[in-house]
Amino acid sequence: MAETLFFNALREAIDEEMARDSSVFVLGEDVGHYGGSYKVTKDLYQKYGELRILDTPIAENSFTGMAVGAAMTGLRPIIEGMNMGFLLLAFNQISNNAGMLRYTSGGNFKIPMVIRGPGGVGRQLGAEHSQRLETYFQAVPGLKIVACSTPRNAKGLLKSAIRDDNPVLFFEHVLLYNLKEDLPEEEYLLPLDKAEMVREGKDITIITYSRMRHHVLQALKTLEKKGYDPEVIDLISLKPLDFDTIGASVRKTHKVIVVEESMRTAGIGAEVIASINDRLFDELDAPVLRLSSQDIPTPYNGNLERLTIIQPEQIVEAVEKMVALRV
């Protein structure tokens, strides 16, 4: 086992897959000489050259379209969005092209591409740099959406995403890049369509993903001291949802809280709740509670920014209130 930073876990995944498969290449702004805005591609330019670590102009729609074309011809592009919010400029290429070409070509083309990069609410990055694009893309057919949350799952999931024959949106949270974790020295891959059972419990199910996993873990320290026994699920796969894991937990605890950083209206939490109500309504002892960000552009002011997203103390309060409910 070797202690590895989050961004280095991603770098290792890319390096290993590029060494394994000559069809894998990286493109994006400053991914080459500069090594990526968060150093995920550091030194890979010197190792693989400019044709496989390709610095692009500031033109997300153009280089995303180019990547779709490259994937159609059998290459495996990895797009790095310097900030995932910039990829709104490539929404058409991702949704109408990458997401649909396998279907509209009658299966004649596969689109094996990964679109990855930093997103989420950082520390005073302002509204345009604090986007949570998973909610924008969840309605697009043909895409897989993954949100990594630890160095271990970041590496294993990225390797699987690179090998997948479908377009994968791979979300990394901007505040997780310096997390450390011991990683296996041997190669490992993780499934793109499975949630992770972070903690088993019996009182209540807490469903979360990305950075909010760590807010939930902070809340757990307080909850455990108070005698609560929550079950915690990290979704990881946002599209498709791993409803086998979710359903088994709901049948056990009968109470559910969804904790997310995306906005409340039409967020991932809304889809999770709708799915639970559709399939497991009779298993619920109380309505599913949703803890989400406020529906406003993220303020630059640090104190206001903190108020827009869910904090550990709010999770503790919500669990206490829901567990106290008696049927």
Question: What's the whole-number average pLDDT of the chain?
Answer: 96
Both tokens of residue 183? 């990683």
- For 235-251, write each residue's pLDDT tens digit: 999 999 999 999 999 99
- For 22-38, write each residue's pLDDT tens digit: 999 999 999 999 999 99
Model pLDDT, residue 326: 64
For 57, 88, 98, 135, 225, the CA distances from 60, given in Å and listed in that order, are 8, 8, 14, 19, 48
- For 156-211, write each residue's pLDDT tens digit: 999 999 999 999 999 999 999 999 999 999 999 999 999 999 999 999 999 999 99
Tell me the C-alpha distance between 252 and 243, whole Å.
14
Q: Is the pLDDT of residue 260 over 80?
A: yes
Residue 170's beta-bridge partner residues?
Answer: 116, 146
Model pLDDT, residue 324: 87
Tell me the C-alpha distance between 206 and 303, whole Å.
26
CA dihedral 217, 192, 160, 174 (to 10 degrees): -40
The catalytic residue positions are 60, 129
Tell me how far apart the terminal alpha carbons of the chain are, to the nearest angstrom.
47
- For 295-316, write each residue's pLDDT tens digit: 999 999 999 999 999 999 999 9
Q: Which residues contact 124 (CB under 8 A, 6 or more apart)?
A: 300, 301, 302, 305
Q: Which residues contact 72 (CB under 8 A, 6 or more apart)?
A: 101, 109, 110, 111
